[in-house]
Each structure stands twice: as C-alpha cells, then as structure tokens.
C-alpha cells in the first residue's frame, strides 16, 4: 500500500490514534474479563456479551470494539493497494471503508476458530459460541465483499461479446446491466422489507444454546448492503461513462505487482 493519503488527509493520524486507543481499551477489558472468569463464578462471558442490558461494562466493551473496528477501517481505507483502481466520489470511499471492515472481520473469524481449536483439542473444553459467531461474522463479510467487488469492477463479467461492440452499444449494455441490478434491489426490498422489520424489531435469535440474534441482524443487513451495491453500480456507471473503450485479454488477470513481490522475496531468500 502506498504512503499517500487517499481522502483522510490531515485526519489520518488522529483516526489512527483513536483506533489504537480503542483497541487498547478492548484488550484491557478482555484481559479483565479473563481474570474475572478465574475469580468469580458469575463472571461475564460470551453469553452476556450479546445480552448487555444492565451491564454497563459490557456496553463499554461493545462500544469500544465497534469503535476500534470502525476507526481501524477508516484508517486502512486511506491506503490503496497496487491492484486497486483510483477511487472517485463518496460511494467509492464508502465501499473502501466497508471493505476494510470485511477484512477485519475475516481476521476475527480466524481468531475465533483458532480459539475454538485450542479450547477443544488442547483443553478439552469446546465453546458453545465459536461456530455461530464465525457464521455471524462471515455473513457480514460476504455481503460487504459483494459491495467491494462492485466498486473494484471485479465481479464476474464476460467480455467476449462486449469487447466487439461499438462504444455506444457498450454504454447501452452498461445501462441495461445497472437497471437490472437496481430492479433486483427494488424487488428484494419490496418483498423483504416487512419480514426484515419484524425480525429486527423482535431481534429474532438463532435458537441455539448461545442464541445470537443472527436472523434479526442479517435480514436487515441484506437489504441495506444490497442497496449500497446498487448505488455503487450507478456510481460506477457515471464514473465510467466517458472512459475510452477497454479491451480485455487473459493477460489482464496477471498481477504484475504480486509477481514482482514474489521475485523479491525469492531473491531475498
């Protein structure tokens, strides 16, 4: 990733400091919960983490965790990887922020599953929550990855016919594809809004021992994020409208930057 700021400018350093401070708070509280678990029988555990009513310390933990993820994502979105196109406009930056949230979420899945493996096979004490938490996080990662793929133009596209079209016909095909995405989004919201509203209002749970509110959060998230995907597709259409025609080949799939990094790594060894 480069050193130049994409959009935070002078706010990059304060955002980084806030992210680090909130992460430190999360780690200290997590350490406190672990010590408490050894000292008291009624210590706060994962069961209480999704039932924070009447537990101010849990609210502080959750608020710090979400804040650390948000500010961490904001900071990371200010860097652009070599393979990422230059962002343009508010919705491109928003998609970069949500993509970094998805990346952080992937790291959390790895940590949760590592904890489960160690707990189960080393200490013979499997958890009731690790599998469901990883599924919960993975659902959001999958949705946010779709938004990121749309912003990066890395979703599945077939260019065999598209490349031989004149530019006016390519634009027509682009408009048609965006209209289909917007139409699908409208139909999904039209048919799913009432159900999503009911689920989130009663915060419908998963019906297991840990019983997280996966249905109550995922159904509204699907409608919200698919709306962001549709908006991003419109933003892409506007941004690409006056671009010169592009011609694609299998060579486009080769990441020269990654190859150069591998060569440097091999030469260093």
Residue by residue, DSSP assigns 106-135 as HHHHHHHHHHHHHHHHTSS---SSHHHHHH
pLDDT at 250: 58
Residue 172 within a domain: no
Residue 93 lies in a domain: no
Query: Model's pTM, two decimal places?
Result: 0.86
- Which residues does the chain have with pLDDT short of 70? 1-3, 247-259, 268-269
Whether the Cβ atoms of residue 231 and residue 196 lie closer than 8 Å to each other:
no
- Which domain, by its residues, includes 4? 1-83
Whether residue 91 lies inside any domain: the answer is no
Number of compact structural domains in the chain: 1
- CA angle, 90 as apex, 89 and 94 as ends, to 5°? 125
**Is 267 among the domain residues?**
no
- Sequence-separated (6 or more) residues with CB below 8 Å from residue 159: 248
Q: Is 227 helix (H, G, I), strand (E, B) or coil?
A: helix
The answer to the question of residue 164 being in a domain is no
Please tell me the distance from the alpha carbon of residue 160 to that of residue 174, in angstroms, as a whole number: 15
Give dist(CA 250, CA 153) in Å, integer: 16
Per the CB < 8 A criterion, the answer to whether 68 and 19 are in contact is yes
Task: Give the burial class of 21: count Cβ atoms within 10 A of its Cβ; 0-12 exposed, 13-18 middle, 19 or more buried.
Answer: middle
pLDDT attached to residue 262: 72
Nearest to 189 by CA among 213, 221, 215: 221
Residue 156 domain flag: no
* Res 2: pLDDT: 45
**Among 224, 90, 222, 236, residue whose Cα is nearest residue 152:** 236
| 144, 98 Cβ separation under 8 angstroms | yes
Give the model's pLDDT for residue 249.
63
Q: How far apart are CA 266 and CA 269, in angstroms?
A: 5
In tens, the pLDDT along 47-58 reads: 889 988 889 999
């Amino acid at each position: 990733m480069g050193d130049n700021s994409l959009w935070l400018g002078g706010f990059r350093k304060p955002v980084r400091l806030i992210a680090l401070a909130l992460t430190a708070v999360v780690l200290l509280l997590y350490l406190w919960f672990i010590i408490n678990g050894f000292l008291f029988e009624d210590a706060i555990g994962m069961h209480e983490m999704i039932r924070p009513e009447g537990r101010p310390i849990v609210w502080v933990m959750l608020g710090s965790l979400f804040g650390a993820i948000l500010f961490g994502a904001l900071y990371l979105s200010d860097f652009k990887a070599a393979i990422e196109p230059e962002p343009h406009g508010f919705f491109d930056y928003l998609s970069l922020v949500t993509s970094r949230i998805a990346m952080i979420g992937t790291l959390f899945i790895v940590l949760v599953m590592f904890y489960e493996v160690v707990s189960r096979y080393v200490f013979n004490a499997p958890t009731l929550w690790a599998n469901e938490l990883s599924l919960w996080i993975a659902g959001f990662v999958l949705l946010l990855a779709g938004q990121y793929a749309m912003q990066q133009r890395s979703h599945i596209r077939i260019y065999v016919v598209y490349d031989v079209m004149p530019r006016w016909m390519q634009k027509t095909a682009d408009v048609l594809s965006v209209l289909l995405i917007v139409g699908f989004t409208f139909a999904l919201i039209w048919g799913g809004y009432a159900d999503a509203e009911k689920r989130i209002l009663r915060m419908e749970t998963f019906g297991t021992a840990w019983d997280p509110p996966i249905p109550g959060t995922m159904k509204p998230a699907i409608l919200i994020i698919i709306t962001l995907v549709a908006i991003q597709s419109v933003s892409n259409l506007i941004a690409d409208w006056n671009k010169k025609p592009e011609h694609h080949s299998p060579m486009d799939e080769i990441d020269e930057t990654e190859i150069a990094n591998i060569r440097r790594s091999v030469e260093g060894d």
